[in-house]
Amino acid sequence: MSYAGIIVSFVFVNNIILSQLIVEQPFLDLSRNIRTSVSFGIVLSAMASLCALASWSLYHAILLPLGLEYLQTLTFIMIITGLTPLCDICTAKILPAPHSRARAFFPLISTNCAVLGICLISVRASYTALESLLAGACAGAGYTLTLVFLATLREAMKKEWIPQPFQGIPITLISAGLIALAFMAFDTALRKNLLN
pLDDT tens for each residue of the chain, 196 residues long: 678 778 877 888 778 877 777 765 666 777 777 887 888 888 888 888 999 999 999 999 999 999 999 999 999 999 988 888 888 888 778 777 666 666 777 777 766 778 888 899 889 888 999 999 999 999 989 888 888 888 888 888 888 888 888 888 888 888 888 888 888 777 756 656 655 5
H or E element, residue 188: helix 188-195
Among candidates 190, 173, 183, 175, which has minimal Cα distance to 143?
183
H or E element, residue 104: none
Q: What pLDDT does 25 receive?
A: 60
Q: What pLDDT does 66 receive?
A: 93
| C-alpha radius of gyration, the chain, whole number | 18
Q: In this structure, what DSSP letter does residue 20 have?
A: S
**Alpha helices, H only, the chain:** 3-8, 25-30, 34-58, 64-66, 72-94, 96-102, 105-111, 113-124, 129-157, 169-183, 188-195
Q: How many CB atoms lie within 10 A of CB 57?
A: 13
Q: What pLDDT does 196 receive?
A: 58
Q: How many residues does the chain have?
A: 196
Among candidates 149, 151, 150, 114, which has minimal Cα distance to 135?
114
- Helices 72-94 and 34-58 cross at an angle (nearest 10°) of 130
3-state secondary structure of 146: helix
Give the pTM. 0.81
Alpha-carbon distance of 191 to 13, in angstroms, equals 9
